[in-house]
Amino acid sequence: MIKKSIVLLILMLGFSFSSCDEDDLESLLPAIDINVDETQKIDVFVDKTDGDWVDYTSTMDLSIANNDTDKYLNKIKKVKINRLRYKVFSFNGDPNGEVQGTFSADNGQTLQNNFVVQNAFANGIEYEVKDTAELNRIANALKSKHAVQITYSGKALCDQQAMNFVIEVRLEGVVTVDP
């Protein structure tokens, strides 16, 4: 009788495990943190000015979708931004050209700065979004849409010649997903 009970128990356990599917097993697995380090570039061109400040606007999309996150995009639990910064990556043009620039992500708060573009490039000056509430807002937008639109706009003055420069935007963070 004991042997029959043991055999019956083993059969029941084997049968119950065989009815588990992949989703049942995945729900038992812990969340996974994926480090994200994304860099995008925004091209800015300003024609030669004649003593008057001119408006410029350039945009690009910054996404958390990459080879590491692609298969988990519909299972994101949380996005945390550790750093969001930008700098002048390359420059060509008026050595005295200035900008009164604003940086924004997904139409949020703007980070404003004024600088001579060649100096910012030559000195490798980085500008960083440090407002925690703004970083959390951008992280939530990335969680739901997987990308945000970055806008770099403002006014420029370059009386000697046109300016062409590239703003490099870098996002460092962690995407937490259910496997």
Domain-embedded: residue 127: yes
Structural domain containing residue 80: 30-177
- Residue 134 has what pLDDT? 95
Question: What would the 3-class secondary structure string for 94-146 be?
Answer: CCCCEEEEEEEECCCCEEEEEEEHHHHHHCCCEEEECCHHHHHHHHHHHHHHC
Domain-embedded: residue 14: no
pLDDT tens digits along 76-119: 999 999 999 999 999 999 999 999 999 999 999 889 999 999 99
Domain-embedded: residue 3: no
- Categorize the per-residue pLDDT at 179 as very low, low, confident or very high, splitting at 50, 70 and 90: confident
Interior angle at CA 63, CA 153 and CA 166, nearest 5? 40
Domain-embedded: residue 20: no
pLDDT tens digits along 16-29: 555 555 555 556 67
- Residue 3 has what pLDDT? 61
Domain-embedded: residue 25: no
pLDDT, average across residues 175-179: 90
Domain-embedded: residue 21: no
Number of domains in the chain: 1
Domain-embedded: residue 12: no
Domain-embedded: residue 5: no
Q: Does residue 125 register a pLDDT over 90?
A: yes
Nearest Cα to 143, choosing from 64, 85, 26? 64
Q: Does residue 65 register a pLDDT over 80?
A: yes
Question: Average pLDDT, whole number, for the chain?
Answer: 89
pLDDT tens digits along 24-48: 555 667 899 999 999 999 999 999 9
Q: Does residue 10 register a pLDDT over 70?
A: no
pTM of the model: 0.81
CATH number at residue 62: 2.60.120.950
